[in-house]
Structure 1
C-alpha cells in the first residue's frame, strides 16, 4: 500500500517573498481558500513578525481556513513567537514554525553564534512556542550544508522539547538528489527519537533540482514535503507543488507514494496564483505551462491521434483542464455558462454567476467565441479585488507619428465626485498613466508593465499587468479589455486602488529590518 505524505504549501509566505510577488490581504485570503480546496495539509500563511500587514494577513487566513493546518513562520525569538501566536490563535488547526540556521557558514558569519548557542536557542524557542501551541515545527536553516551529526543532535533536542515536525531545508538549492536523500536517511537512522516527529523537507531551485531533491527525500523517508504553487519563491524559487504531486501520481509504480491533493484543482490554483501575483507561468513550465499538453511536431501529432498515451504521460483532465467542451458565444445561456464554470473548477454562488454571466454577454458581443482562457481571465482574482477608491469612467487618447501623445482620463472617486485630468506622455499609455497620477496627487514608480493576449485571434482580449511602488511598498494591478489601451488603464487604476486601500488602512511599512533573513 502506498505511503501518504503531507503537502505543506508555502506560497503565501516563501512564494510571496519573491521579488514582485506581493499579495494584498484579500488576495492572500482568496489564495488560501483555493489551497484549502486543493487539499493541502498545511499552508504557511506568512511571517507575522515581519510587519503589521503580514500579521493581519495571517490572522485573516487563520480565520477562514478550517480543513488545513495554518502555520506562521517565526525566528527563534520570543517576540517573533508572540507575534506568531497572536496571528494564529483563532485558527482551527494552528502551527508555530520556528527556525534557526545550523550550517557552519551561517552560524559563524550571520548569527555569530557557536553551535552550542544555536542548540540552546533552538530548544528554548520550541519550548516557548509549545506554551502556546501543541503543533510546533522546527527548521534547521541551511541544513544541506550543515554537519549531519550536529543536525541529529539539534533535532533530537528539539523533539524532546516538543517539536512535532523537524524540517530539513535545502535553503540555497545546493544539494544533489542522491546526496539529499542520503542526508534524510542518515538523520532518520541517527536521531534516536525521530519517530516522535514528522520529517519534512523544504527545497529551493537554485540548480533546478528542487523537485528532484524533494522526491529523493520522500523516497528516503520524509513524510512532509514543502513547496509552492508554480514553484514561486526567493531567487530561483521553491519546489513546485504541481510537479511533486503529479510526479508521485504519474510514477506511483516506482515511488509508491501519494498525497491527499485533489489534482483536478491544480490548474485553477496555478492560474489564480499567477493572476494575483502578476507573475506569468512560462509556456514550457512542467504540468501547468501553456505548452504542457501542446503537440506540434508531426510525429507527435500522429501518435496522439492514434493513442494519447504515446506522448501524454498525464491527461489535461487530471489537473483540471477538461476536453471536448461546447463552444460558448453570444447565444449561449446561463446554464451552459454555469456548467463551464464548474468544469474549470470555479464554485460560485448564484449572485456571482449572474454577475459574471452579464460580463460574459458583454464580451460575447465583441467576440465570436469566448474561450476558457477568457472566462478564467474574467473570474480569477476578482474576489480579491480591493475596495475601489477610483473607478474608470471614460478615457480618450490622441497619438501618432507626427504629434505628441495626449490622454484625458476621468475617474469616479468613491465620494461620488468625478475627477478629470489631461497629460502629455511618451506614447498613449504613458500619457494615460500620467493623467491618473495627476488625479490622485501621487507619482508612484511603475516597476513593471506587461501586456499580452489572453487568446489568439484579432478579437482577443488584452491582459495588462502592472506593478507600482510607493515609499518602499509594492502593489499589483490587472486589467482586461478587447482594447489594449483600456486594459492598461484598468490595470493601473487597479494598482492605484490597492495602494490607496492599504495606505488608508495604515498597515505599516512592509518588511522591517530583520536580525536574520526571513525564510528557510
Structure 2
C-alpha cells in the first residue's frame, strides 16, 4: 500500500528515501569543515546524485550554520530535494530551523530528543513524563509552521522498547510525519534493529501514518548492516553520509547502502532514487573539499574496490568479470579508459574529458583549469584521468579561499641550508616572505607562518602518488591541530614541494573556516 507523505506524495511500497546528512552529521567529524561555497557545491552534487533529503545543518548552532542552511534552502527554492535543519526540542531551535529552511520548496524541521534512561538522567535531567510532554510541545510547534516534521529518538537503540513505543506514538499524534530511530553510539546489532523497527511498526497506534527512518553510527563497524536490517524490518528512510563520514567512526555510508539495495534487490525488494554512476565523483568531491581521502579498500569508492591482484582472481575476471565482481565499475562511476590526454590536446577534448569525469565548469573556471592542464602536460608525458581530477579539484575548488599561493621558490641541496621565498594573496592583498628550515618542506611551512602568523601543531604530513611514474603528480596531506580542533588539507602538483605548500595552505583555509563557525560543543546533538 502506498504511503502518502507531505513531501513525497504517494510513496511506492519498494521506495527507500535517502536522507543525506553529510552536511550536518558529517561535518561534525573532527577535522571536517566546509565554507559556504563548498557546502553549496556539495549540496548541488548530492542533488544530482539523487538524494531525497539534504540535512543542511544545525541552524541555531551559529550564524554561519544558519546562513548555510538558508543558502541551501534558497538554492532549492523551486525544486530539488527536501531541505532539513536539525533542532533540539526547544522553541528557539525549532523557530531557527523554520526560518532557515523557509525558502526551500520542500522544507523539513528535524527535532531530536533523547529517550534512553541514561541520556534522560545524565544529559536531559528529565523524567519520562517530562520527555513525553516535551515531544508533544516541540512537534506541535513545528507542525504549526511546516507540513514535514521529523522526530528522532536520540540513543533510540538503547532505549526501553516499551517507553520508546510511547514516545513514537506521542510524536505521531502531535503530527510527526517521519519517525527516526538512531543507533547514536553504534551499539546495536542487526538483530536489535530488526526487533526495534518491527515492534514499533506493529505495536504503535497510527504507525501507518508515518515514515520510519534509521540512522546508524559505525562504532562497531555495523552501520550499514544495521541499516539493511532496519530496511528489512520496514524502515522506509535511510540516514547516511557520503564516504560514511560522521562523528567518531562515522555513519552508514550512502554509497554502500545504495549499492547493496541495487545489487541485492532480489533479497531486499527495495529501490532508491540514487543515480549510481554519480557516486564516485560525489565521493571524490567530498574528499577534496574536506581534505580526507577514503582508504584504498573502502567499499565502492576505494581505489582497490575493483582491483584484482591475485592470479586466480585475474584469470577469472578476464574470462568473466562476474566471477569476482558483483557490480561493474562503471555502475558507480569508475571509467576504464584513463589514458587520453597529452600536451597536444585542445580545449574541446579537455572539456569533453571533464564532462566524462563529472565536472561542469563555467568559462572562467574552465580557462583556469585548461591553463593548469597545459602546464601539467608540458611536465608529464601522459596525463591520466586521476591527474585531471587532482588538477581541477586542487584549483577550481580553492577559488574562494582567503589565503592563496601565488609564487614559490625553494633552494636546497647537499651542504646547503634550505630556504623558501613565497608570495601569498591574503583576502585580496599580496604579501611575501622567506624562511629557512631543516628541509625544503620545513622552510616552506616556516615561510607561510612568517607571512601569515599562526600557531598550530602539525600532526600529519603524508605524500602519495596520484598515478605511476617518476613524473607523477604528488598528492600531499597535512593535518593541523589548534586548541583541540583538527583540520586536514590536500594539495597536488608534479613538484612535491609545491604540493606541500598547497596542502598546508588548504589546511590553513579550513582552519579559518573552522574558527569562524565554531559553536559551543553542547550545541551539537549526536543523533
Q: Same fold (TM over 0.5)?
A: yes
Contact 1:6–1:224 (CA<8 Å) still a contact in 2?
Answer: yes
Distance 1:511 1:162 in 2: 31
How far did 1:39 drift? Answer: 0.4
CA contact (8 A) 2:292 2:488 kept: no
Residue matched to 2:451:
439
Are 2:129 and 1:121 aligned? Answer: no
Q: Does 1:62 align with 2:48?
A: no
1:250 aligns with 2:258: no
Match of 2:525 in 1: 518
Q: What is the deviation of 1:253?
A: 1.1
The 3 A distance-change label for structure 1 pair 217 and 165 is same
Q: Which moved more, 1:248-257 or 1:444-453?
A: 444-453
Query: Residues 92-121 of structure 1, C-alpha deviation per residue, up to 9 Å, x if partnerless?
Result: 211110111101111112212111111111
Whole-Å separation in 2 of the counterparts to 1:402 and 1:340: 45
- Cα distance in 2 between the residues matched to 1:387 and 1:354: 16
Going from structure 1 to structure 2, the CA distance change for 1:343 and 1:122 (only over 3 Å counts) comes to: same
With 149-158 and 398-407 compared, the bigger mean Cα shift is at: 398-407
Pair 47,501 (structure 1): closer, same or farther in 2 beyond 3 Å: closer
- The corresponding residue for 1:43 is 54
Determine helix, strand or coil for the equivalent of 2:261.
Answer: helix
Q: What SS does the corresponding residue of 1:257 show, helix, strand or coil?
A: coil
Distance 1:447 1:174, change over 3 A: same
Q: How far does residue 327 in structure 1 lie from its aligned partner after superposition?
A: 2.0
Report the 3-state secondary structure (helix = DSSP H, G, I; strand = E; otherwise coil) of the residue aligned with 2:522: coil
TM-score (norm 1): 0.93
Question: Which region of structure 1 is more displaced relative to structure 2, 486-495 or 15-24?
Answer: 486-495
Matched, 1:34 2:45: yes
| Deviation, structure 1 residue 157 | 0.9
Greater CA deviation, 482-491 or 349-358?
349-358
Deviations, residues 224-246 of structure 1 (Å, cap 9, x unaligned): 00101111111111100111000
Q: C-alpha displacement at 1:350, in angstroms?
A: 4.4
Structure 1 distance, partners of 2:70, 2:486, is 21
Counterpart selection for 1:459 from 471, 475, 489: 471
Q: Which shows bigger deviation, 138-147 or 430-439? A: 430-439
Query: Does the CA contact (< 8 Å) of 1:27 and 1:385 recur in 2?
Result: no
Aligned pair partner of 2:441 in 412, 429, 433: 429
SS of match in other structure, 1:11: coil
- Mapped to 1, the partners of 2:378 and 2:399 lie a distance apart of 28
Give 2:34's aligned residue.
Answer: 23
Larger mean CA deviation between 260-269 and 272-281 belongs to 272-281
Is the CA contact (8 Å cut-off) linking 1:356 and 1:379 kept in structure 2?
Answer: yes
1:398 aligns with 2:411: yes
In 2, Cα distance between the equivalents of 1:386 and 1:85? 32
TM-score by length of 2: 0.92
User: CA contact under 8 A between 1:28 and 1:57: conserved in structure 2?
Assistant: yes
Distance in 2, matches of 1:303 and 1:445, equals 49
Show the counterpart of 1:203.
216
Which residue is 1:179 aligned to? 192
Question: 2:60 touches 2:97 (CA, 8 Å); kept in 1?
Answer: yes
Report matched runs for 1:73-92 at 5 Å.
Answer: 73-92=86-105
Query: Contact 1:23/1:475 (CA < 8 Å) preserved in 2?
Result: no
Contact 1:96 1:129 in 2 (8 A): yes
- Counterpart secondary structure, 1:254: helix
1:95-150 Cα distance to aligned partner (Å, 9 max, x none): 11011110111111221211111111122111111222211100001111111111
Contact 1:7/1:42 (CA < 8 Å) preserved in 2? yes
Contact preservation (8 Å) 1:272, 1:381: no
Distance 1:384 1:502, change over 3 A: farther
Cα drift, residue 401 of structure 1: 5.8
1:325 and 1:369 mapped to 2: Cα distance?
10
2:348 pairs with 1:335: yes
CA RMSD of aligned residues (A): 2.2
User: Cα deviation per residue 1:347-406 (whole Å; 9 max; x = unaligned)?
Assistant: 334443343222222211111111111111122365543535444333233345645433
Instruction: Quote the residue 2:392 is aligned against.
Output: 379
In 2: Cα distance, 1:17 partner to 1:115 partner: 29
